C-alpha cells in the first residue's frame, strides 16, 4: 500500500488536484480555471470536455511536480461542484449538450409547473429539497426536451446522465463505470433520501428515463480504476464538495457544522441518522454514506458568496486580484450605508426566490469604489449570518463557534467581519483545503491508508481564530439595514 492519496476537487470555477501524505500534509497541488459560459441572462454552462481536460491536466501536473512515484498513490478521491448536470452518449463518451451549472436559472418555469401540479410538498418530503432550478432534475428534463431524439435514446440507455463525479469517473475508467454516491444523488431532486432510491413519482413527473441514471453507491469504497502512467489506481471515494468539506472538517458527529466560502457559501450541520426537516428554508440532504448507513445534514446554500468578489474584479473591474478586495475594504471604516445584495442568480436559503436579482442600495454622493467593494465582502458574511440563524432555529442548537474553509476564507477582513456580525468566534483550520481533504479521507479509509475516524480526528487542528469585536448596537443597526436591502432585491425579475 502506498503512502499518498490523491484528491480531485472539481469546483465551479476551477479544477484542483491535491496530493496528501498519510500525515495529511499537502505534498503537491495544481489548479486550473476553466471557461464559464453565460449564453443568456441567468444561464450558466460549462464545457464537460473542458471540465475533464482541466481535471486530468492538474492530476498529471501534481504527480509530475511532486516527484511521487504513481505506485505510491494508494487511491483517488473525487469531490465536485454538485447538481451540475451532464448528459453524454454512452458509445462515444461525448456530451450531448454543455453542462448546465447549478447556478443556472433556465428551468425556473419547470419548477413553477411542478408547483402548479401540486408536487412541491412531495418534493420536500421525498428529496429533502426546496423545489428550485438549482437542482439537477429540471436540468435533465431541459436537455431531454431540447436535444432532438435525446429522450428516446435515453430510454434505450444510449444516453447517460451524471453529476460531475459520475462524468469524471466514467472518463477516468474509460467508460467502464457509471456510478454516483449518496451525497451527489441527494442533490438531484429525483432521489428519495428516505428510501435511498431514485424516486419513481418524480422521474415520471419530469419524464426522465431510469435507464440513464447512475448506480448510487457509498462514499468510501472502490468503484473502479484509473490508469495513470500504466498503473491502475483505485478510485475509492466520492462526495459532493460541501459534504466532503463537512467530512474534511471532521464533523462526524451530530451537531457539528462548517461553513465553506467558495463560489457560493454552504453551511452544513451533521444531524445524524434521521433526516431533520427545516422550517426555516434549509435543505435536508445526505451528509455521508459509510458502510451501508447514511447520515443526514441540514444545509443552507447561498448561490453567490466568493463569486461576488469575482464580479467586482471581472465585471466591475474595481480590483485586479481577488485578494485586493481586503485591502480596499480596510481603507474605509464602513460601507457608508451601502449594501450590496448579490442575488445575481436569485436567492437560495433562507429566501428561495428564483426571481430575486442583485441590487446596490444606500448610495449617496459620497459613495466610493471602496464602499462598494466593502459592501460586496460584507454581503458574504450577512448571507452566512442568515444561514446560521436559520440553522440555530431549526435545530435548537446554538453554535459555539463557526468552522470555516474555502477560497474566500483566506480573506481576513471577511473572517473578522463574519465573527463580528455573528457575535461568535470563527475558526479556520490548518488545512483550508478541507473539501479535497474530505475526499482524500474517504478514499484513504477505503484503502486502509487511515484506519478509522478517530485516527483522522487526531490529526485535525484549528489554525486561526477570529474573535468577535463589535458593539451590540452597531451589530443590530447593520443587520437591520441588511434585512431592508434584501427586501429590495426580492421578486425582481419578470415571470
Ligand atoms: N483573497 C480572496 N479574497 C476574497 N475572495 C477570494 C479570495 N481568493 C479567492 N476568493 C474567492 O473565492 C472563490 C473561490 O474559492 P474556491 O474555494 O476555490 O471556490 P470553488 O470551489 O467554488 O471554485 C472565488 O469566488 C473567489 O472570488
Ligand atoms: O464549486 P463550489 O465550491 O462553489 O461548490 C458548489 C456547490 O457544490 C453547489 O451546490
| Residue 231 within any structural domain of the chain | no
pLDDT in tens, 319-373: 999 999 999 999 999 999 999 999 998 998 899 898 999 999 999 999 999 999 9
| Residue 62 within any structural domain of the chain | yes
Q: Which residue from 337, 257, 354 is spatially nearest to 298, judged by alpha carbons?
A: 257
13 among annotated binding-site residues:
yes
CATH number of the domain where residue 387 is located: 3.30.420.40
Instruction: Say how many Å lie between the first and final Cα of the chain, rounded.
Output: 57
pLDDT in tens, 438-467: 999 999 999 999 999 999 988 777 788 999
Same domain, yes or no: 112 and 37: yes
- Residue pointed to by grid coordinates 437542482: 135
Same domain, yes or no: 54 and 166: yes
Q: What is the ipTM of this complex?
A: 0.96
| Residue 433 within any structural domain of the chain | yes
C-alpha of residue 198 to centroid of ligand 2, in Å: 22
C-alpha of residue 15 to centroid of ligand 1, in Å: 13
| Residue 229 within any structural domain of the chain | no
Same domain, yes or no: 163 and 291: no
Same domain, yes or no: 385 and 481: yes
- What does the pLDDT average to over 174-201? 97
- Best of 407, 409, 435 for a ligand 1 pocket test (most atoms within 8 Å of beta carbon): 407
Phi, psi of 450, rounded to the nearest 5 degrees: -120, 145
Same domain, yes or no: 159 and 256: no
Q: How far apart are CA 126 and CA 198, in angstroms?
A: 10
Q: Of the residues 198, 217, 236, which one is the last residue of a structural domain? A: 217
Q: What is the residue range of 474's domain? A: 249-494
- Best of 9, 248, 264, 297 for a ligand 2 pocket test (most atoms within 8 Å of beta carbon): 264
C-alpha of residue 159 to centroid of ligand 2, in Å: 25
Residues in CB range of 463: below 8 A, 6 or more apart: 428, 429, 430
Q: Which atom of ligand 2 is nearest to the CA of 84?
A: 9
- What does the pLDDT average to over 385-399? 91
Same domain, yes or no: 344 and 431: yes
C-alpha of residue 10 to centroid of ligand 2, in Å: 9
Q: How far apart are CA 195 and CA 127, in angstroms?
A: 10
- Average pLDDT of the chain, as a whole number: 95
Q: Which residue from 211, 162, 208 is spatially nearest to 52, judged by alpha carbons?
A: 162
Total count of domains within the chain: 2
| pLDDT greater than 70 at residue 434 | yes
Q: Identify the bridge partners of residue 192 per DSSP, sorted by sequence position.
A: 197
The DSSP output letter for 129 is S
Same domain, yes or no: 49 and 9: yes
C-alpha of residue 242 to centroid of ligand 2, in Å: 7
Q: Of the residues 173, 200, 217, which one is the last residue of a structural domain? A: 217
263 among annotated binding-site residues:
yes
Same domain, yes or no: 202 and 276: no
pTM for the full predicted model: 0.92
pLDDT in tens, 404-421: 999 999 999 999 999 999
| pLDDT greater than 90 at residue 468 | yes
C-alpha of residue 308 to centroid of ligand 2, in Å: 14
Q: How far apart are CA 388 and CA 69, in angstroms?
A: 44
Q: What is the pLDDT of residue 228?
A: 92
pLDDT in tens, 208-233: 999 999 999 999 999 999 999 999 99
pLDDT above 90 covers a percentage of the chain that reads: 88
Q: Which atom of ligand 1 is nearest to the CA of 377?
A: 4
Q: How many residues does the chain have?
A: 495
| Residue 224 within any structural domain of the chain | no
Which ligand gives the minimal distance to the CA of 32? 1
C-alpha of residue 216 to centroid of ligand 1, in Å: 30
Q: Which atom of ligand 2 is nearest to the CA of 435?
A: 3
Q: What residues does ligand 1 touch, defined as CB less than 6 Å away?
A: 11-14, 262-263, 306-307, 309-310, 322-323, 325-326, 406-408, 410-411
C-alpha of residue 81 to centroid of ligand 2, in Å: 4
Alpha-helix residue ranges (DSSP H) falling in 92-251: 108-116, 120-127, 136-146, 150-155, 164-172, 182-185, 200-206, 241-248
- What does the pLDDT average to over 72-99? 97
pLDDT confidence of 494, banded at 50, 70, 90? confident
Q: Which one has a higher pLDDT value, 111 or 432?
A: 111
Residue 315, helix vs strand vs coil: coil
CA R_g for the chain: 22
| Residue 237 within any structural domain of the chain | no
- What does the pLDDT average to over 473-478? 97
CB-count burial class (<10 Å; 0-12, 13-18, 19+) for 129: buried
Same domain, yes or no: 397 and 465: yes
Which ligand gives the minimal distance to the CA of 414? 1
Q: Which atom of ligand 2 is nearest to the CA of 102?
A: 9
pLDDT in tens, 274-310: 998 899 889 999 999 999 899 999 999 899 999 999 9
pLDDT confidence of 1, banded at 50, 70, 90? low
Q: What residues does ligand 2 touch, defined as CB less than 6 Å away?
A: 11-12, 81-83, 102, 240-242, 262-264
Residues in CB range of 104: below 8 A, 6 or more apart: 42, 43, 44, 45, 133, 139, 345
Which ligand gives the minimal distance to the CA of 301? 2
79 among annotated binding-site residues:
no
pLDDT above 70 covers a percentage of the chain that reads: 100
Q: Whose CA is nearest to atom 5 of ligand 2?
A: 81
- Best of 55, 81, 246 for a ligand 2 pocket test (most atoms within 8 Å of beta carbon): 81
Same domain, yes or no: 389 and 263: yes
Same domain, yes or no: 297 and 186: no
14 among annotated binding-site residues:
yes
pLDDT confidence of 63, banded at 50, 70, 90? very high
Q: How far apart are CA 317 and CA 31, in angstroms?
A: 23
| Residue 226 within any structural domain of the chain | no
C-alpha of residue 407 to centroid of ligand 1, in Å: 4
Cβ-contact 246, 297 below 8 angstroms: yes
| Residue 243 within any structural domain of the chain | no
Q: What is the pLDDT of residue 302?
A: 94
| pLDDT greater than 70 at residue 22 | yes
The dihedral through the CA atoms of 85, 204, 184, 221 has a sign that is negative
Q: Of the residues 174, 196, 217, which one is the last residue of a structural domain? A: 217
12 among annotated binding-site residues:
yes
Q: What is the pLDDT of residue 234?
A: 97
Same domain, yes or no: 286 and 207: no
Amino acid at each position: 500500500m502506498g503512502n499518498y492519496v490523491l484528491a480531485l476537487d472539481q469546483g465551479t470555477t476551477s479544477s484542483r488536484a491535491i496530493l496528501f501524505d498519510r500525515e495529511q500534509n499537502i505534498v503537491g497541488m495544481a489548479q486550473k480555471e476553466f471557461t464559464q459560459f453565460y449564453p443568456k441572462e441567468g444561464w450558466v454552462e460549462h464545457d464537460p470536455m473542458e471540465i475533464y481536460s482541466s481535471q486530468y491536466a492538474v492530476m498529471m501536473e501534481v504527480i509530475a511536480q511532486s516527484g511521487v512515484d504513481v505506485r505510491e498513490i494508494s487511491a483517488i478521491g473525487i469531490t465536485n461542484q454538485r447538481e451540475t448536470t451532464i448528459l453524454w452518449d454512452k458509445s462515444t463518451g461525448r456530451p450531448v449538450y454543455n453542462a448546465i451549472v447549478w447556478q443556472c436559472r433556465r428551468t425556473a418555469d419547470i419548477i413553477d409547473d411542478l408547483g402548479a401540479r401540486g408536487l412541491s410538498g412531495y418534493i420536500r418530503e421525498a428529496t429533502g429539497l426546496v423545489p428550485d432550478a438549482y437542482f439537477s432534475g429540471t436540468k435533465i428534463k431541459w436537455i431531454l426536451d431540447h436535444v432532438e431524439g435525446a429522450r428516446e435514446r435515453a430510454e434505450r440507455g444510449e444516453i447517460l446522465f451524471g453529476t460531475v463525479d459520475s462524468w469524471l469517473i466514467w472518463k477516468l475508467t474509460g467508460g467502464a463505470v457509471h456510478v454516483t454516491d449518496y451525497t451527489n444523488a441527494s442533490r438531484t431532486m429525483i432521489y428519495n433520501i428516505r428510501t435511498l432510491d431514485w424516486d419513481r413519482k418524480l422521474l415520471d413527473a419530469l419524464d426522465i428515463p431510469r435507464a440513464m441514471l447512475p448506480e448510487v453507491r457509498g462514499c468510501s469504497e472502490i468503484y473502479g480504476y484509473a490508469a495513470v502512467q500504466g498503473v491502475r489506481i483505485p478510485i475509492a471515494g466520492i462526495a459532493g464538495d460541501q459534504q466532503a468539506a463537512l467530512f474534511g472538517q471532521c464533523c462526524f458527529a451530530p451537531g457539528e457544522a462548517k461553513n465553506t466560502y467558495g463560489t457560493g457559501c454552504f453551511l452544513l450541520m451533521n444531524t445524524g441518522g434521521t433526516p431533520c426537516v427545516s422550517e426555516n428554508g434549509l435543505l435536508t440532504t445526505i451528509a455521508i454514506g459509510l458502510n451501508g448507513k447514511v447520515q443526514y445534514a441540514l444545509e443552507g446554500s447561498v448561490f453567490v458568496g466568493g463569486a461576488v468578489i469575482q464580479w467586482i474584479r471581472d465585471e466591475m473591474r474595481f480590483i485586479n486580484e481577488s485578494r485586493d478586495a481586503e485591502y480596499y475594504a480596510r481603507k474605509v471604516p464602513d460601507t457608508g450605508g451601502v449594501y450590496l445584495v448579490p442575488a445575481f442568480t436569485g436567492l437560495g436559503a433562507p429566501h428561495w426566490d428564483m426571481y430575486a436579482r442583485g441590487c446596490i442600495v444606500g448610495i449617496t454622493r459620497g459613495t466610493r469604489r471602496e464602499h462598494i467593494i466593502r459592501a460586496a465582502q460584507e454581503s458574504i458574511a450577512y448571507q452566512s449570518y442568515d444561514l446560521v440563524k436559520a440553522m440555530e432555529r431549526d435545530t435548537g442548537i446554538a453554535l459555539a463557534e463557526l468552522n470555516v474553509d474555502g477560497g474566500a476564507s483566506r480573506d481576513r477582513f471577511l473572517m473578522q467581519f463574519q465573527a463580528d456580525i455573528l457575535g461568535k468566534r470563527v475558526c479556520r483550520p490548518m488545512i483550508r483545503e478541507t473539501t479535497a481533504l474530505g475526499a482524500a479521507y474517504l478514499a484513504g479509509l477505503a484503502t486502509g491508508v487511515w484506519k478509522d475516524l478517530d485516527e483522522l480526528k487526531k490529526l485535525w487542528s484549528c489554525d486561526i481564530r477570529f474573535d468577535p469585536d463589535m458593539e451590540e448596537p452597531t451589530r443590530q443597526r447593520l443587520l437591520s439595514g441588511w434585512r431592508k436591502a434584501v427586501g429590495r432585491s426580492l421578486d425582481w425579475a419578470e415571470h
